[in-house]
Amino acid sequence: MNEENFFVLFIETMQNRWDDIFVALQEHLFLSFISIVIAILISVPLGIFISRRKKLAEPFIAVAAIFQTVPSLALFGFLIPFLGIGNITAIIALTVYALLPILRNTYTGITSVDQSSIEAGRGMGMTSMQILMKIEVPLSLPVIMAGVRTATVLTIGVATLATFVGAGGLGDIIYRGLTSNKDELVLAGALPATILALGFDLILKLLENAATPKGVKAKK
């Protein structure tokens, strides 16, 4: 294959199929975003909970880790008999996938907060809730954000498989390219997915920095 030809072909594909690609990109974003939000809503409180009851921490993290080890394609397939095809199935699968990094980082973040700060807070008369909101969460936020970042990049990648449960996304474009043996079409789906993942990685990296308390960064 002539390289220049392929490049021209790719540009043409992008131009001709832009509407399709744009729709797929929106679906992709939608699926990833919803899944991550749900995963955060589950994992962060759960992570805080298991940091209070350390005996439960291992089993919970182990379960999340087992989910993670199931090959992503198999997980999608596994859910179809129960939930049929469609967005819901895709979102559940993606959420399950995103749980572990956030859960583990929340747990690690909260448990690694300096105990002397907590003891001082408790001894001075802060309630458990005040200790959580004013000490533990602010100090572990950078670690939690790092978990969210990992999960986001992962989810954007795995979301390309949502096409197999009929939930659309950039996977549609890639799959079409594969079945019709058009490499330029595969690339037209894969490239936006990659850019999306890298873009989110960057944005979340900035957020992570912003979440690091000033006084902690000031460490000489």
Site string for another protein, 123-142 (x = CB under 8 A): xxxxx--x---xx--xx---
Rank residues 38 and 207 by Cβ distance to another protein and give the closer one. 207
Dig out the tokens for 112 from the structure: 């690694």
Please report whether residue 111 would count as binding another protein according to CB under 8 A: no
Structure tokens belonging to residue 73? 């394609």
Residue 5 or 127 with smaller CB distance to another protein = 127
Q: Is the dihedral of CA 182, 183, 189, 192 positive or negative?
A: negative
Give CA–CA dist 110/114, Å, rounded.
9
**209 lies in the site for another protein, by CB under 8 A:** no
Residue among 101, 103, 95, 100 nearest 39 (CA): 95
Asked if 105 contacts 50 with a C-beta cutoff of 8 angstroms, the reply is no
The interface mask with another protein, positions 42-81, x = CB under 8 A, is ----------------------------------------
- CB contact set of 58 (below 8 Å; sequence gap of 6+): none
Residue in 116, 179, 180, 181 binding another protein, rule: CB under 8 A:
116
Residue count, binding to another protein (CB under 8 A): 26
Residues at the interface with another protein (CB under 8 A): 114-127, 130, 134-135, 138-139, 213-216, 218-220
